[in-house]
Amino acid sequence: MNTELEQLNARHALGQSLKFSRDPGGLIVAEIENPLASARLSLLGAHLLQWRPRTTSLPVIWYSPKAQLVAGKPPHSGAPVCWPWFGANPLLPDSPFMHGCARKQSWEVMESGLAENGATRLLMRLLPSVELHQQWPYSAQLTLELVIGETLRMTLTTTNTGDQPCQITEALHTYFQVGDVAAARVLGLEDCVYLDKAANFAQGKQQGAVTFSGEVDKIYVDTETECVIEDPALRRQIRIAKSGSASTVVWTPWREKAAAMSDVAEEWPHMLCVESANAAHNAVTLAPGGIHEMRVEYGVSAM
């Protein structure tokens, strides 16, 4: 009988553009190498680990050199999928499953293919689990489509397959590689209202660009605008365009909190999270049969 890995490669491999292998810890990863970009993705959690377009010498999606793929413990790296809740479970506030179950559970590859421009397309589906149903007693299907090329497009689609309304919060918790977070700034959130998680969710209003001189953990609400990370240390800017997302989360742990994270530790100055989300009062309610799509597209250019 063919192994799971052999079956995946037989059904979905696309030569060098997409193949599947096992990482040193035994988890299956998708490896993408096409004329436009390279990327890696773990099937556990549909967790995009890294993306680098050919136009830049360094990855755009950050993966810590100290990160390890371990079942049940997603690394602080890449682009974890937070679903069907962001932060604490509103139904079970004492649950240890922060940011939902999707990032810790198995996903199935449904489709793969190549776009006309040479980009690699991958469609994945979260597999049902008893654990998820115990934490969130609704019926829904979640898919993630990735189009990996000179830009990176990610589309997270929720379909309510049950007979009662359900509410979700969600995020693509993306870690971007920067040269020095203290020199970086985020444009596009000027005058937006935020909830400051580091100050007990105190409300404030952003004045000018978002800059960094200490811990930042803010949920910017009621905003669908495009953001740009300006990174003078690497002399580039990262564009974050989105739809179906009414919140943007900006996070850097800074030195003190990073010290408690073994895969971040002294690496924290080189990463910055700007997350496309639906969080806080931007939660999405789906009627039976309802569909919600959250899409982001990342691009990089020289400053």
pLDDT tens-digit series, residues 42-96: 999 999 999 999 999 999 999 998 888 887 788 899 999 999 999 999 888 888 7
pLDDT given for residue 222 in this prediction = 98
pLDDT given for residue 92 in this prediction = 87
Domain that holds residue 54: 4-302
What is the helix, strand, coil percentage profile of the chain, to 5?
10, 45, 45
Mean pLDDT value across residues 276-294: 98
pLDDT given for residue 97 in this prediction = 83
Share of the chain above pLDDT 90, in %: 87
Distance CA 31, CA 5 (A): 13
Q: H-helix or E-strand containing 126?
A: strand 120-126
Structural domains counted in the chain: 1
Decide: 28 and 237 in contact? Cβ < 8 Å. no
Return the residue matching tokens 């019926």.
139
Task: Give the confidence band of 2 by pLDDT, cuts at 50, 70, 90.
Answer: low
pLDDT given for residue 151 in this prediction = 98
Three-state SS across 69-117? CECCECCCCCECEEECCCCCCCCCCCCCCCCECHHHCEEEEEEEEECCC
The model's pTM is 0.96
- pLDDT tens for residues 153-206? 999 999 999 999 999 999 999 999 999 999 999 999 999 999 999 999 999 999
Distance CA 37, CA 60 (A): 11
φ, ψ of residue 7 to 5 degrees: the values are -65, -40
pLDDT given for residue 1 in this prediction = 46
pLDDT given for residue 67 in this prediction = 85
CATH number, domain at 146?
Answer: 2.70.98.10
